[in-house]
Amino acid sequence: MSAAPAELVPTADRRWVGLSTIVRREYQRIMRIWGQTLVPPAITASLYFLIFGSLIGSRIGDMGGFSYLQFIAPGLIMMQVITNSYGNVVSSFFGAKFGRHIEELLVAPLPNWLIVLGYVAGGMLRGLLVGLIVTVIALFFTRLHVEHPFIILAAVLLTALIFSLAGFVNAVFAKNFDQITIIPTFVLTPLTYLGGVFYSIQMLPPWAEAISRTNPILYMVNAFRYGFLGSSDVHVGKAFAVMLLAAVLLYALCVRLMNRSSGIRE
Amino acid sequence: MHALSLRQLAKTYGNGVQALKGIDLEVEEGDFFALLGPNGAGKSTAIGIVSSLVRKTAGQVSVFGIDIDSDIEAAKACLGVVPQELNFNQFEKVRTILENQAGFYGLPRALARDRVEQYLRELQLWDKRDAMSRTLSGGMKRRLMIARALVHRPRLLILDEPTAGVDIEVRRSMWEFLRKINAAGTTIILTTHYLEEAEQLCRSVAIIDEGRIIEHGPMDRVLRKLHTEAFLLDTREALPESFALAGFRARRVEGHTLEVEIDKEQNLNDVFAALSARGIEVLSMRNKANRLEELFLRLVEGNDESAAPVAPAADGARR
């Protein structure tokens, strides 16, 4: 039988349950379409390790005292974390806009900052899951040296956070499916490939090295690599400062966009 | 207490269209309220603003006394919204959609599961609980949206065209269900194109046209503003084409059917007596259209001078 209206849930409880529900829904989505979310990065990473690591890498020789495979492994893990964190949020949030089920959240008694946090946590979750999968694959090809585990953890969490937030910004502005692929194709991929995943920027001529230092992904890859190998092309403190600043600015931008309802409410 | 109060609510869209021109409206707690109006009148804009899907340009909205500008979360927690367009994830299971919705309103998981089962059973969707929502029929999708809006047991349920496109049987069962939850204490606001639906279900009504409220008040009082009512009479004898009935506005619709308009001062007995005197036997009789429909058309078309200028209702209606 239908019952009388319920008493209100206290705000703090409602927010906590609301946030965990958004994250659970994102997790369910990742698992529901695992063939699109978890398998492709595993295949791509395997091919990179096989071709660049084992086949070509064996002819390149050592990089800073480590085998080429050991050198590129952190970069390849980070590359997939970046792509998948970004891709999860941009496709999930834009899909919710397109299918109008974002309205479920917009009418719910949840603040905008919490909705952003929920989607971003979902993006980070996928980034970390994929990062874990690629790490396991890397272990089939090489032994991973771990120098600073907490730096590895901090770098991967911050990177996943930054690119989840960036994916959110893209999704808010996107008006069609083309617009959620433009940034990954024309901005993210070139920056990632030129961000020191496959090489040390010390190998570059001075002008190219100077340009590379303006690429934020360079700092993320190198901070992560420092956690594994204990060596980096950039100062690790500076790398974390860049990442923290980017995360704070992007989160503020995302909440502002939600509050202004750009492209979401009429 | 007012479940909903709108004060000078106005909305101008980016393209310059003034969808709402400063409307005032109050809905009493426990009421079953119809918001009627032609397409583009501003109904969905008003509902959109209340449910925070549309940003208002000016005015005040309060839900159970909570101003949406001062505590939007508390106001939204009181609301359940069934939109006109489908807006659930077509790739999620029926049960998942409801469980997630309960979570967005802060219901713990175990309580959410109980509520989901309760409302899926009440709306005859329990057998479809593990079906992908996109595989449901049109009527089931509408019921799913009602179940979703109710799972947190809102104090105010807003339904925008809830029975559009569903068959009569499903519509009737949805009416019964809505009556039941209204009787249990949930205030309901309904927009509908089926004016019979509003007349059957609702105790109060507001008619909105071109962004303004043109009528507002208890349903029976609003309906009393109708000065005439039209009936169709089926007769045993064939009627001549030029058939007329002295003292009444009557016309032959077809061979055995007569349309008669009855003024407030007249009564049907006089019609029957006049027909009987002419040797015409009436086999059956029916309303030409439902009364609300007649009033609605007269108001929005401005055809009925006596019905249109309605005095403000005691509960704050305005023209």
Domain residue limits, chain B: 2-223, 228-291
State residue A48 phi and psi, 5-degree precision: -60, -45
Quote the pTM value.
Answer: 0.84
- Facing A14 at nearest CB: one of B83, B91, B105: B105
The answer to whether residue A35 neighbours chain B at the CB level (below 8 Å) is: no
Q: Which of B92, B107, B150 sits opposite A9 (nearest CB)?
A: B107
Per-residue pLDDT tens digits for B225-268? 766 778 888 999 888 888 888 888 888 888 889 988 887 778 88
For residue B319, give both structure tokens. 């023209």
Alpha-carbon gap, residue B160 to B95, rounded angstroms: 23
The distance of A30 to chain B (nearest Cα, Å) reads 12
How much is the pLDDT for B267?
84
As a whole number of Å, the end-to-end CA separation of chain A is: 37
Domain B2-223 has CATH 3.40.50.300: yes
Chain A residue at shortest CA distance from B186: A5
Residue found under tokens 């959410």: B112
Q: Classify domain B228-291 at the CATH class level.
A: alpha beta
Grouping H, G, I as helix, E, B as strand and the rest as coil, residue B202 is: coil
Predicted ipTM of the assembly: 0.88
The contacts of residue A11 (CB under 8 Å, 6+ apart) are B73, B74
Beta strands in B13-57 (DSSP E): 18-28, 32-36
Q: What is the pLDDT of residue B168?
A: 83
Three-state SS annotation for A41-76: HHHHHHHHHHHHHHHHHHHHCCECCECHHHHHHHHH
Give A132-165 pLDDT, tens digit per residue.
999 999 999 988 889 999 999 999 999 999 999 9
Which residue among A3, A10, A25 sits closest to B153, beta carbon to beta carbon?
A3
Residues of chain A with pLDDT under 70: 1-7, 262-263, 266
Please tell me the distance from the alpha carbon of residue A148 to that of residue A225, in angstroms, as a whole number. 10
Rg of chain A over all Cα atoms, to the nearest angstrom: 20
The C-alpha atoms of residue B144 and residue B88 are separated, in whole angstroms, by 9
Residues 88-117 of A with CB under 8 A from B: 96, 99-101, 103-111
The type of residue at A262 is S
DSSP letter, residue A187:
I
Dihedral angle of Cα A6, A16, B5, B159, to the nearest 10 degrees: -70
Query: d(Cα B143, Cα B125) in Å, to the nearest integer?
Result: 8
Q: pLDDT 10s digit of each residue in chain B, 319 long?
A: 899 999 999 999 988 999 999 999 999 999 999 998 888 889 999 999 999 999 999 999 999 999 999 999 999 999 999 998 899 999 999 999 999 999 999 999 999 999 999 999 999 999 999 999 999 998 899 999 999 999 999 999 999 988 877 788 888 888 999 999 999 999 999 998 777 788 889 999 998 988 999 888 998 887 777 667 788 889 998 888 888 888 888 888 888 899 888 877 788 888 898 889 888 899 998 877 666 776 777 777 663 344 443 333 333 333 2
Q: Give the pairing type, strands B212-218 and B204-209.
A: antiparallel
